[in-house]
Structure 1
Amino acid sequence: MSYLDTSDPQRPATAASDTNTAVTSHAPSDHIEMSEVVKKQSNGHGSVNVEEAQAQFHALARRLTRQSTQHNDKSGGDIEKQETFDLLEYLRTTSGKQDEAGFAKKHVGVTFENLRVTGVGGVKICERLMKCHDEFFLSPYYLAKSLVGGPSAAPKAILHSFNGAVHPGEMVLVLGRPGAGCSSFLKTITNQRGSFLSVDGDVRYAGFDAQEFGKRYAGQAAYNMEDDIHYPLLSVAQTLQFALKLKSPGRLLPEQTRAELNDEVLSTLLSMLNIAHTRNTVVGNEFVRGVSGGERKRVSIAEMMVSDIIMNNLLAANTCHQASRAVVCSWDNSTRGLDASTALDYAKSLRIMTDIFKLTTFVSLYQAGEGIYDQFDKVLLIDEGRQVYFGPAKEARAYMLSLGFRNMPRQTTADYLTGCTDPNERAFADGRSAADVPSTPDQLAQAFQQSKYWSRLVAERQTMQAEWQGEGDDPSGTKGQFLQANKEEKRKHVSRKDPHTVSFFGMVKTLVWRQWLLQIQDTVSHLRNVLKPSLIISL
């Protein structure tokens, strides 16, 4: 039985949620159309100015590129004022020359076929309420029980037969109610499989299967969790410096040290996210006073952006290839704790990064305004672990209307799509009911598999896999370019098969540096908390 209506209603016009800033972006593309950017008049610390963030990135790229030029004027000159150089234009006009010169590019598309994830179901936990002396006499029983073991937890299917294909430079918005499986999908697609009982199906990254990609190129897929977990006693700068020490590549520009590069990128990241004023402030947590919740979220965003920004701008340099960065990125509800304006700026920043660096980006958001929604190319809608839609973002609302759901013009598209999976929120069109409209997760999944979007999805996936297979071991192909770029980003004494950028000794050295900072700052904090009350009491 097919639930699809023959009519294809048009998606109603919706107003953008932000009237101060408007960005037109059609991805994937070779560049970003920034002609409709209107600069926001804001001097506070509460929001990110997208135009200024991009300008900061261009300024950093200009400085690094000029340093690599053989005929650089060593007499001086303000590079910031040389507005004739534009990185985007340079990349667009010189891409052919870069290919001839052998510049390696890491453009990794992702395909997944019949992806199934199984986790642990509910576990019964018994709490002991006996007295201590009763516990003592029963200790042999508890010891024997722990050795024998109790009944194993029943497995639970989390994701059922997911299929899709995502090209480099595309952004996918993952929507679903809490508990639908959005976080599980984001973890699985970035090879974070340790928390599941089993993951079945075929997931490929530019032709690599998930096992090989996870073993040799684990750092190329990154997952940003919903919670902001940091060392509370480290400052914002120290937190990001730790990531920079582990992700800066082995090959640097001439006349530049690794410390100079790390400091340059750190300053740019802080300026782009408008948290430069928190540079020397501790991150903090629920118990240690530090930066605000929104600023802490931006620290998490900056920490993940380190692997994307640190050397991507060196693609234009004649002496250095692309280096360390994650190419498949998942962001799990990263706008939590951000106001509407900052969340929109964050989404536009992801759009800029994805377009410039040709990343493959997956984002899960529980509340997405129309301005945020318009930044995405595709939408994945999940209902209780079932894939009920995967296709163009601009056609998602029209698809749900064609199934027989009533249109809600006052709702944003993201809320409307999620509401169609909620029995308490959705409404059927006039003359339609649950009898002739897919209402359960299984019915919605079945309707999607009978739609044109399913056929389009399968064809797109087969085309991508055929291209990867046709390239084979061609050094100029997607896989060959990825291997070359991954090889060049390694530092000295790091094996090609090692997924890390730095050597084991380098990682130990960086960890010791961080632990030393924690010990020093924890001691100072403890002494301050003890001495202050002592002095007050003594006086």
Structure 2
Amino acid sequence: MGPVDLTSGKTMMANGPDALHLYVAEKFEAAMDRKIPQMEVRYHNLSVTANVAVTVFNTIKRSLAKFAWNKRVVHKEIIKNASGVFKPGTITLLLGQPGLGKTSLMRVLAGQFPKSGNVKIEGNVTYNGVPRDEIGKVLPQYSAYVTQFDKHFPTLTVQETLEFAYAVCGGGMSKHTEEMLSHGAPEQNAEALETARKYFENFPDLVIEQLGLQICRDTIIGSNMLRGVSGGERKRVTTGEMEFGMKYMTLMDEISTGLDSAATFDIITTQRSIAKNLHKTIVIALLQPAPE
């Protein structure tokens, strides 16, 4: 594999995502003397149920809740006896109509399903063979969940938003990564460390290039009351925020909402390259198209 110019996000992507990720993977694996760490996720007979109060109008229920004495509670099955496996180095597509449990499944696997007394989660979930209950507290270190909701600070620009997310995720090369890249020959270790340093140094710029956000990098995010980037650009920023950090698994929920087919294709192409070359486990949930 020929050298890749790592001086900026633009030069990194000059030959496409495959060339970049293959180059980085080769340098890292030579210094680690093994494959890049990866994560296999298995779930067996996974069920999520909730007890919910039934009313004619939820708004009336909320406003009059303090006056209600009798409530009719029903048992709702969100996920029922689901089983499956997501393997490293692959990209998996979840298709389904709204309300079929795609988001709930991804949030359970990402360790981000809200805990509540009226919600019950049953079944077995393992990460590289480790049960969910044992790895739950540190799971956010290894997995990223891209929500379908765009929640940002409206007055920050696209560049500032991604740089803030990068800093929150640790920013730069961690001590752990540095230690991992020290098991090869001295020259291999030196090359890998220099590659990692430049890669992480230009990470926010790289994400902007990968998501096609160059034209709006200095535009504020905006909100319903403040004009900013378009809805599709905001959705891409949401995706970009979760690209930082050396995560082994990424779960992406309805990332194509508001995007045209070309933008969606570019994002999927990049994610496929990351999965193939960096051995990442990637799951993408999309709305199932109408039959017509």
How far does residue 115 in structure 1 lie from its aligned partner after superposition?
0.5
How far does residue 93 in structure 1 lie from its aligned partner after superposition?
8.7
| Residue in 2 that maps onto 1:295 | 233
| Residue in 2 that maps onto 1:361 | 282
RMSD between aligned residues = 3.8
How far does residue 289 in structure 1 lie from its aligned partner after superposition?
0.4
- What per-residue deviation string (whole Å, max 9, x for no partner) do you get for residues 136-164 of structure 1? xxxxxx5xx58xx7547433111111111
What is the SS of the residue equivalent to 1:217? helix
Q: Distance in 2 between matches of 1:94 and 1:280?
A: 33
- Which of residues 234, 242, 245 in structure 2 aligns to 1:304? 242
| Residue in 2 that maps onto 1:265 | 203
- Which of residues 199, 202, 218 in structure 1 aligns to 2:121? 199
| Residue in 2 that maps onto 1:112 | 43
- Which of residues 79, 86, 90 in structure 2 aligns to 1:159? 79
- The reply to whether residue 246 of structure 1 matches residue 168 of structure 2 is yes
Q: Distance in 2 between matches of 1:150 and 1:199?
A: 27
CA contact (8 A) 1:245 1:262 kept: no
Which protein shows a greater Rg? 1
CA contact (8 A) 1:173 1:364 kept: yes
- Which of residues 46, 52, 62 in structure 2 aligns to 1:121? 52
- The reply to whether residue 337 of structure 1 matches residue 261 of structure 2 is no
How far does residue 272 in structure 1 lie from its aligned partner after superposition?
2.0
- The reply to whether residue 350 of structure 1 matches residue 271 of structure 2 is yes
CA contact (8 A) 2:46 2:122 kept: yes
- Letter of the aligned partner of 1:362 in structure 2? V
Q: Give the 3 Å change call, closer, same or farther, for CA 122–304 of structure 1 in structure 2.
A: same
Q: Distance in 1 between matches of 2:229 and 2:59?
A: 39
| Residue in 2 that maps onto 1:21 | none
| Residue in 2 that maps onto 1:328 | 249
Q: Distance in 2 between matches of 1:93 and 1:298?
A: 29
Q: Distance in 2 between matches of 1:184 and 1:80?
A: 34
Identity %: 25
Q: Return the structure number with greater strand share.
A: 2
- What per-residue deviation string (whole Å, max 9, x for no partner) do you get for residues 268-315 of structure 1? 2212222122222110122210011111111111111123xxxxxxxx
Q: Give the 3 Å change call, closer, same or farther, for CA 160–335 of structure 1 in structure 2.
A: same
What is the SS of the residue equivalent to 2:232? helix
Q: 5+ unaligned residues in a row in structure 2: which ranges?
A: 179-189
| Residue in 2 that maps onto 1:377 | none
- What per-residue deviation string (whole Å, max 9, x for no partner) do you get for residues 385-425 of structure 1? xxxxxxxxxxxxxxxxxxxxxxxxxxxxxx5xx75xxxxx8
Q: Give the 3 Å change call, closer, same or farther, for CA 349–262 of structure 1 in structure 2.
A: closer
How far does residue 203 in structure 1 lie from its aligned partner after superposition?
0.3
Q: Distance in 1 between matches of 2:252 and 2:81?
A: 22
- What per-residue deviation string (whole Å, max 9, x for no partner) do you get for residues 303-360 of structure 1? 11123xxxxxxxxxxxxxxxxx222211111001011111111111110111122111
- Letter of the aligned partner of 1:119 in structure 2? A
Q: Distance in 2 between matches of 1:79 and 1:340?
A: 24
What is the SS of the residue equivalent to 1:355? helix
| Residue in 2 that maps onto 1:277 | 215
Show the 5 A alignment for 1:18-33: none
- The reply to whether residue 59 of structure 1 matches residue 19 of structure 2 is no
Q: Distance in 2 between matches of 1:281 and 1:79?
A: 23
Q: Distance in 2 between matches of 1:116 and 1:80?
A: 42
Q: TM-score, normalised by structure 1?
A: 0.43
- What per-residue deviation string (whole Å, max 9, x for no partner) do you get for residues 83-141 of structure 1? xx97625745984x4444xx68320001111100113435424739x9xxxx9xxxxxx
- What per-residue deviation string (whole Å, max 9, x for no partner) do you get for residues 475-508 of structure 1? xxxxxxxxxxxxxxxxxxxxxxxxxxxxxxxxxx
| Residue in 1 that maps onto 2:183 | none
- Which of residues 211, 217, 229 in structure 1 aligns to 2:139? 217
Q: Distance in 2 between matches of 1:290 and 1:79?
A: 28
What is the SS of the residue equivalent to 2:257? coil
- Letter of the aligned partner of 1:250 in structure 2? S
Q: TM-score, normalised by structure 2?
A: 0.76
How far does residue 244 in structure 1 lie from its aligned partner after superposition?
1.1
| Residue in 2 that maps onto 1:528 | none
| Residue in 2 that maps onto 1:50 | none
Ranked by relative contact order (alpha carbons within 8 Å, sequence separation 6 or more), the top structure is 2
Q: Distance in 2 between matches of 1:343 and 1:285?
A: 23
CA contact (8 A) 2:154 2:223 kept: yes
How far does residue 194 in structure 1 lie from its aligned partner after superposition?
0.8
Q: Distance in 2 between matches of 1:206 and 1:359?
A: 13
Show the 5 A alignment for 1:34-183: 58-60=4-6, 63=7, 88=22, 91-92=25-26, 95=29, 97-100=30-33, 105-124=36-55, 125=58, 127=60, 151=71, 153-183=73-103
Q: Give the 3 Å change call, closer, same or farther, for CA 262–280 of structure 1 in structure 2.
A: farther
CA contact (8 A) 2:155 2:222 kept: yes
Q: Give the 3 Å change call, closer, same or farther, for CA 260–349 of structure 1 in structure 2.
A: closer
CA contact (8 A) 1:119 1:195 kept: no
Q: Give the 3 Å change call, closer, same or farther, for CA 59–297 of structure 1 in structure 2.
A: farther
